[in-house]
Amino acid sequence: MKIESVAVHVLRHPLPTPFAFSQGWVTHRSATLVEITTDTGVTGWGEAFAQGLEAPQIAAAAIEHSLTPMLLDADPMDTEVIWHAMVNRTRDFGRTGSVVAAISAVDIALWDIAGKTLGQPVYRLLGGAFRKRVRPYATGFYRLRGPGEAERLAEEALAHFESGFRIMKVKLGFGVDDDVAVMRAVARALQGKGCTLMVDTNHAYGRAQALRLGRALEEFDLRWYEEPVAPDDVAGYREMREKLAMPIAGGENAHLASGFLPFLTAGALDVAQPDIGSCGGFTAARHIAALAQAHGVAVNPHVWGSAVAQAASLHLLAALPVAHHSLAAEEPILEYDRSDHPFRNALVDQPLRMDNGWVAIPERPGLGIEVDREVVARYRIG
Residues that bind Ca ion (CB under 5 A): 200
Q: Please say whether the beta carbons of 111 and 125 come within 8 A.
A: yes
Q: What is the rounded CA–CA span in Å between residue 93 and residue 102?
A: 13
**CA distances to 145, 204, 219, 325 from 212, in Å:** 24, 13, 13, 33
Q: What's the min distance (Å) between Cβ of 24 and Ca ion?
A: 14
- Antiparallel, parallel or unpaired: β 24-38 and 3-21: antiparallel
Between 115 and 301, whose beta carbon lies closer to Ca ion? 301
**CA distances to 116, 127, 208, 210 from 205, in Å:** 45, 39, 8, 5
Between 251 and 366, whose beta carbon lies closer to Ca ion? 251
Instruction: Give 307's Cβ-side CA count (13 Å radius).
Output: 20
Please enumerate in sequence order all residues whose Cβ is within 8 A of that of 271, keeping only pairs 6 or more positions apart, or say none: 224, 247, 248, 249, 250, 251, 297, 298, 299, 300
Q: What's the min distance (Å) between Cβ of 213 and Ca ion?
A: 15
Please enumerate in sequence order all residues whose Cβ is within 8 A of that of 164, keeping only pairs 6 or more positions apart, or say none: 354, 356, 357
Q: What is the rounded CA–CA span in Å between residue 59 and residue 67?
A: 10
Q: What's the min distance (Å) between Cβ of 169 and Ca ion?
A: 8
Q: What is the rounded CA–CA span in Å between residue 57 and residue 34?
A: 12
Q: What is the rounded CA–CA span in Å between residue 290 and residue 107?
A: 18
* From 302, 315, 325, 341, the catalytic residue: 302
One-letter amino acid for residue 325 of the chain: H
Determine whether 209 is exposed, middle or buried from the number of CB atoms within 10 Å of its CB (0-12, 13-18, 19+): middle
Q: Please say whether the beta carbons of 337 and 303 come within 8 A.
A: yes
The whole-angstrom distance between residue 5's C-alpha and the CA centroid of its chain comes to 27
Q: What's the min distance (Å) between Cβ of 201 and Ca ion?
A: 9
Q: What's the min distance (Å) between Cβ of 372 and Ca ion?
A: 28
Closest residue to Ca ion using C-beta atoms: 200
- Where would I find the H helices in 319-381? 373-379
Between 21 and 220, whose beta carbon lies closer to Ca ion? 21
Between 282 and 304, whose beta carbon lies closer to Ca ion? 304
Between 156 and 200, whose beta carbon lies closer to Ca ion? 200
Between 83 and 225, whose beta carbon lies closer to Ca ion? 225
For the packed helices 176-189 and 150-162, what is the interaxial angle rounded to 10 degrees? 40
Between 106 and 352, whose beta carbon lies closer to Ca ion? 352
Q: What's the min distance (Å) between Cβ of 38 and Ca ion?
A: 35
Active-site annotation holds for 302: yes
Q: What's the min distance (Å) between Cβ of 269 and Ca ion?
A: 14
Q: What is the rounded CA–CA span in Å between residue 18 and residue 8?
A: 26
Residues marked active site are found at: 302
